[in-house]
Structure formats: structure tokens, C-alpha cells
Amino acid sequence: MSAPALAIQDNAQGQLLHENDLFADDHIIYITDQWKYKAGDNTEYAGKNYDDSDWELISTYLTAFDIAFAEWQGIGWFRLTVTVDSSLVDKPLALLIEKHLGASEFYLNGERKFSLGSVSAIPGLTESYTDFKPRMIVFPEAGEHAIAVRYANNEPEVFIEEEGMAGFRFLLGDAEYHMDSKFDNTLWRSGWQSFFLGALLVFGVIHFLIFSFYPVEKRNLYFALFTLFLGLLVLSIFKAEITNSPYVSVLFSKIATVTWILTVIYALRFTYSLYQQKTPLQFWVFGVAGLFLIAGIWYNMDHMQFLGQIFVFISVLEMLRALSRIIVRKRSGAWIIGFGIFCFLISILYRITVNMELISGETTTASILGSGMMILSMSVFLSRDFAITQKRLEQKLIEVRHLSQRSLEQEKINKQKEIERRLLEAENKRKSLELEEARALQLSMLPDKLPEIDPYDISVYMQTAAEVGGDYYDYSVQDDNWMTLALGDATGHGLKAGIMVAAAKSYFHMLSAEKNQVEMIQQMSSGLRNMDLRLMYMGMIIMRCRGLEAEIVSAGMPPVLWFRKKMHTVERVTLKGLPLGTPVTYPYQNRLLKLEHGDVLLLMSDGLMELFNEQRQLLGIERIEQELMKKSCSTSSEIIKHMRSLMLSWSGDKKNEDDVTLMAIKVSDNET
């Protein structure tokens, strides 16, 4: 502890003690550590009126400098004269033990008040002792009082090597406040530490067992090791605080420092495992540096404690960097990870600043709270990740089973095998790869190229809002030169939308030869409804065309824009209908279009119309009609390119909130 600037007042009669000194927040009178000292062992040195004017003035901390200056022989006497103000007469005060690494006897005005350990001039009979329990003292009258301490430490070099000192430091405080506070703090800390140790054991055992049953998922192993070392750290701190032997206290303090470094190392390794499977090179650098520091701290190499603090600080920065990668990758559940690591890092930074004496504070509670939140959040994340993966795998297997029951063609059998292969691979990969695999599957289901059938010039464009979009386009050409085009939009986007697209594609190719388009779309709706995809539906436009005739059926899709060259107008072909897969059997309608050369049909999902600009204004269908009029004389690819430019100019750098799919069909200007 460091004394406030005005808490200590010295005068010619000795340090002045006043009741006002107890009014600070900590209720402590900071008596000086500079006492008069004399070697030897004589009980007369404790007397109130003993003349100590020829004694030397040294610090009771007994640093290496003090030991050399005092020519320490294992035992000596310390005296301090204090002047007590009348406000403190008969007031119960507590003698507070800040540090005590030997054995001592405490005297007030020649009367021995208490002993800590067993003091003897014979080295083998001295028994060192330490605790932090307040001792009651009372000053019976105002004026000068002599405090004397008979102190023995036969192995000062052991403590100086470990602690940098071999002596003691006493303070005075309000007895009622500190005795109640000590009792409450002891109960609270012992209760919290016991609970925390039990929780660490439970979490560690559970995740180690999960790893033993599923060793591919090594994150559980790193988490279990992290909790193990954290438990050893808490236990070491607890043992260092409750032991009465200074030697044992120093030993457990050293063990706590070593396990602190190991805890940080495995916290870093666990953080790496959240976004990559292989052990990164920088972890081995940190690991080797940590082992070097542990060896140096254990064998008391110079400056290792300070280097250990620097190592922990750099590790904290590296964990922050790794955490930023998780956030940038937008990993599912990143907020759970981020919250836990953030709490842990805050507690580490707080501990470092306190240990480096940049601020004052109590680090044990902060470490318990920060580590507890870290452990809880990481365990929740691992459990959630495992449960979600299992549920998705189960759902995928159910969906594949439904598809396989309706699959008679070899193409569907091959698709099922492909999905099953991907599901088996997903069990051994990180969850972050699942969406990329689903995206590759969706893209593989789209046509490699568009049909080239006179008199049609066809171009298409798709931009998804997520890794896996919900939009879909396809075509089928029958033997009688009828061509069937499809453009669909599943509700939402992501993995479920991709599964819906896969099902829609299967039904489209199975039913594309159906001449009755209304019957075809009703069968597709019935099939998707029977799959029971839980509130997942599919909007769909199907256009069957040959020559200058086109029949359109729509299920929950935006109007088809028909540029009629002869009239130089854009007509909206609107056909109302519920999306496919709804529980209602809807009477869908069709419309037969008599096209002319130079006409343009623009099919689109609702993503283009519902595109927002920076002012949160919708693009709307009117603007699309205007732009279509401008480019109506262009080829289908140029029309698509123009619509993409419209999208960029309207939304700017803003990310699309929905998938956008466009299909432009231009009837050749040349009459054959």
C-alpha cells in the first residue's frame, strides 16, 4: 500500500497519529516503514523510556540494501515513537499486517501485546509465521508511545531472492471496520474461490470428455487445458493467502506466476482455434517465449517478473488481433465469443496495471469475474456450436430422404450422393465452411450457359445477398423446340434457401415437359408443401415459349415487364398467385403473350425493386420501366449490363439486403 501524501505527519516527537487520519476511504493510518534499528537481542529495548538516540534508521522491509547496511545476524530490534492525539485515546485500533516474512514480537510501551511465530536468538528455534488477521491495540493516554518489534529471520536471502525483501510492514486502522471487513472478505473470497474452483473442475472435465469422444474437435481440449491452468492459478493464490508459513506463501506465489503465464498461453491457443484448425506459427513463438519465462521465474533470473508482465501484455494484444479476425469473418455466435474474451482481456489488463503499480486495486476478484465470464461464454459457444451442427445435419438428412423418395432419375440419385458426401465432410470441418459448400452446391445447380434458340436472345444476372442465396433460374428445351424458362425466389437467403432451390430445381426438370403450365406449377407447389420445410416458400415465374408465342405462369413474383416495340410502351404482365409450398391450393392463372420482333421481356426477383439507396428509398418498378425503355433497342446482355449499372448507382457501396436476379429475353429484330 502507498500512503496518501497527508496521512503521515512527522515532528520532533515522532509520528503524529490523529483520528482524522482514519476518515479516508480505507480507514487506515499509514505509519512509516522507516524505524530505528539495533542488532542484538535485549528485552530492555522494548521499554517506553529507553534511549534509542544512537540507533540506526532503516526500512522495516529489509531489502538487500537494508540487510547489508544493518549487518543483519538473524535477529534485531526495531523501534518507532508515535505521538497520539487525544482523539485516539482508548479508541480500539487494529494493527494491520501488510507484509511479514519472519517471526516477531510486538511491544507497546514495553508490554508485549502479541507474537507472530516463535522468535529466538538461536536460528534453529525460530519459527516464521504470517497471516493477515488484524490485531487489537489501544493507546491508554495521549502523548508519546513507544512501539517496539523484536524480529527474527534466519534466511533473509531466500525471501530477498523471491520477494525482494525479508522484513515486515505494519499499519494502523479502525478496529471495528477492519475486523468486520476482514471477516466479510474472508467469507466472500473463500466462498467465491471454492465455487469458482468447482465450476472450473466441472467445465474442464465436461469438455475434456467431449474431446475424448470426438478428438477431431480440438477446441474442447484447448478449453479444458485453459480451465485446468486457471484452476491451478486460483488454487495457488488461495493457498498463498491462507498459509501461515512465509516459505509456503512464497512458493505458491511463484507457482501462481508460472500458472498465470500458462493460462494466458492456452487462452491464446483457444482463441486461435475459433477460426482456424491448424496451429499458427505465432503460437509456437509465444509458447517458446512463455516456457523461457517460466524457467527464468522459477530459477529467479533477473528481471523475469517484469518480462513476464510484458509477455502477458503482448499476448493480450495478440488475442485482440485474433478476436478482430473472428468479428471480421462474421462467424455465427461471434458476439458470444467476443463478450467472453473481452471480459477476460479486461481482467488481464487490470491485473497487469495493478501488478505494474500503475493503479491500485485488488486483482483476485477481477480475475475471477473476468475468467468466469470467459469460461461461461466459451462453454456456451462450444455447446451451441455442437448443438447447431447436429440439428442442421439431422435436418439435412431428413430433407435428403424426402428428395430421394421422389427421385427416379439418375440425375437426382447423383445429386443425393453429392449432398450426402458433403454432409459427411461437414462433420469433420469447421462450421464456417458449411455455407461456402452450400454456395458451391447452389451455383453448380445453375445452368452453365443459356439456350440459343431463334428468335430469342437471352441473358441473365444473379447477385446474392449472403453466402447462399435464395434466387434461382433455369431452362429446359423439349424435343419439339418448345423452351421452358424459370426464375424463382425462395424466402430469405442462406442455407435453408439453398436447400429450397435444390428441391425446386429437381421438380422443374422432372415436370418441364408438362404442356399445361398451370398443372406444372401446381404439382411443384404440392411437392414442396409435402417436404414441410417450415415456413420456407418459393416464388416462381415459368415461361414456355416457341416462335412468337410465350405462355407465362407466376406464383408470388413481381410483374414481368414487356416492352412492346410496336407501341413503344412497357406493359406490366401481372399474374397474382401464392408462392409455391404454401398450405393453400391456389388456382394459378396463365397468360399467353403474342410477341413481335424487337419486343423485350424482363423477368426479375423482388430484390431489384426493393433495393434501397442511402436515404432508405426504394428503387421501385417505375424506375426500372424507365431504364428498360432507354435500352430497349439494345441486346439482352447490354440491357442486363445497364440494369447492373442502375443497381450500383442507386445503392452505392451499400450491401444488398436481398438477392437480385434478372433475366432479359430479347425477340430478334430480324424477321425470318
Q: How far apart are CA 103 and CA 127, in angstroms?
A: 6
Grid-cell match 527474527, residue found: 152
Residue 393 parent element (H or E): helix 363-405
Per CATH, which fold does 413-667 belong to?
A: Phosphatase 2c; domain 1 (3.60.40)
Q: How far apart are CA 280 and CA 183, in angstroms?
A: 48
Residue 69: its pLDDT value, please? 84
Asked if 231 and 200 count as a contact pair (C-beta separation under 8 A), the reply is: yes
Least confident interval from 15-29, 145-159, 238-252, 550-564: 238-252
In terms of C-beta distances under 8 Å and separation of at least 24 residues, what long-range contacts does 448-451 make, across chains too?
450/475, 451/475, 451/477, 451/483
- Residue of 226, 302, 283 lying closest to 259 (CA atoms): 226
Q: How far apart are CA 344 and CA 354, in angstroms?
A: 15
Domains of the chain, by residue range, sit at: 9-180, 214-386, 413-667
Residue 119: its pLDDT value, please? 87
Q: How far apart are CA 427 and CA 416, in angstroms?
A: 17
The pLDDT of residue 608 is above 50: yes
Q: How far apart are CA 429 and CA 421, in angstroms?
A: 13
Q: Using alpha carbons only, what angle is made at residue 308 by residues 302 and 314, rounded to the nearest 5 degrees?
A: 140
Q: How far apart are CA 472 and CA 463, in angstroms?
A: 11
Grid-cell match 540507533, residue found: 55
Helix residue ranges, H only, 278-303: 281-298
> Helices 363-405 and 175-213 sit at what angle, rounded to 10 degrees?
30
Residue 426: its pLDDT value, please? 66
- Residue of 445, 475, 442, 440 lying closest to 460 (CA atoms): 475
Q: How far apart are CA 1 and CA 27, in angstroms?
A: 13
Residues 318-325, mean pLDDT to the nearest whole number: 79
Of the segments 163-167, 187-191, 320-324, 541-545, which one has the largest average pLDDT value? Answer: 541-545
* Tally of residues, the chain: 672
pTM: 0.45
Does residue 455 have a cis bond before it (omega within 30 degrees)? yes
What percent of the chain lies above the pLDDT cut of 70? 85
- Residue 58 three-state SS: strand
Residue 439: its pLDDT value, please? 60
Helix residue ranges, H only, 148-274: 156-163, 175-213, 219-242, 246-273
In the sheet that holds 471-477, the strands lie side by side as 471-477, 483-490, 538-546, 549-555, 590-594
Three-class SS string for 102-143? Answer: CEEEEEECCEEEEEECECCCCHHHCECCCCCCCEEECECCCE
Asked if 611 and 650 count as a contact pair (C-beta separation under 8 A), the reply is: yes
Cell numbers describing residue 645: 449499372
Residue 428: its pLDDT value, please? 56
More confident residue, 18 or 601: 601
Measured CA distances, 558 to 22, 54, 539, 609 (Å): 79, 103, 9, 9
What percent of the chain lies above the pLDDT cut of 90? 25
Residues 558-570, mean pLDDT to the nearest whole number: 95
β-partners of residue 505 are none
> What confidence tens digit (pLDDT) does each residue in 470-490 have?
788 999 998 888 999 999 998
CA atoms within 13 A on the CB side of 204: 16
Residue 202: its pLDDT value, please? 77
Beta carbons within 8 Å of 58's beta carbon, 6+ residues apart: 34, 35, 37, 66, 69, 70
Residues 408-423, mean pLDDT to the nearest whole number: 70
Q: How far apart are CA 100 and CA 129, in angstroms?
A: 7
Q: 9-180 and 413-667 share one CATH topology?
A: no
Asked if 368 and 189 count as a contact pair (C-beta separation under 8 A), the reply is: no
Q: How far apart are CA 458 and CA 484, in angstroms?
A: 12
> What confidence tens digit (pLDDT) does each residue in 47-74 have?
888 998 889 999 999 988 888 888 888 8
Residue 24: its pLDDT value, please? 74
More confident residue, 241 or 152: 152
Q: How far apart are CA 222 and CA 244, in angstroms?
A: 35
Grid-cell match 516459505, residue found: 247
Beta carbons within 8 Å of 343's beta carbon, 6+ residues apart: 369, 370, 373, 374, 377
Burial track 646-669 (b if 16+ CB lie within 10 A, e otherwise): bbeebbeeeebebbbbbbbbbbee
- Residue of 238, 235, 290, 293 lying closest to 264 (CA atoms): 290
- Residue of 65, 45, 42, 47 lying closest to 55 (CA atoms): 45
More confident residue, 428 or 640: 640
Task: Tell me the one-letter amino acid at 200.
Answer: L
Average pLDDT, the chain: 82
- Residue of 16, 170, 182, 178 lying closest to 88 (CA atoms): 16
Residue 2: its pLDDT value, please? 37
Reported confidence tier of residue 101, pLDDT bands at 50, 70, 90 = confident
CATH 2.60.120.260 matches 9-180: yes
Residue 398 parent element (H or E): helix 363-405
The pLDDT of residue 187 is above 60: no
Grid-cell match 482481456, residue found: 345
Residue 8: its pLDDT value, please? 37
Residue 10: its pLDDT value, please? 41
Residue 467: its pLDDT value, please? 53
The pLDDT of residue 557 is above 90: yes
β-partners of residue 421 are none
Residue 35 parent element (H or E): strand 34-39
> What confidence tens digit (pLDDT) does each residue in 379-407 have?
777 777 777 767 777 777 777 677 667 76
Least confident interval from 268-282, 413-427, 444-458, 543-557: 413-427
Reported confidence tier of residue 592, pLDDT bands at 50, 70, 90 = very high
More confident residue, 313 or 503: 503
Reported confidence tier of residue 571, pLDDT bands at 50, 70, 90 = very high
Asked if 498 and 445 count as a contact pair (C-beta separation under 8 A), the reply is: no
Other C-beta atoms closer than 10 Å to the C-beta of 637 total 15
Asked if 453 and 460 count as a contact pair (C-beta separation under 8 A), the reply is: no
- Residue 232 three-state SS: helix
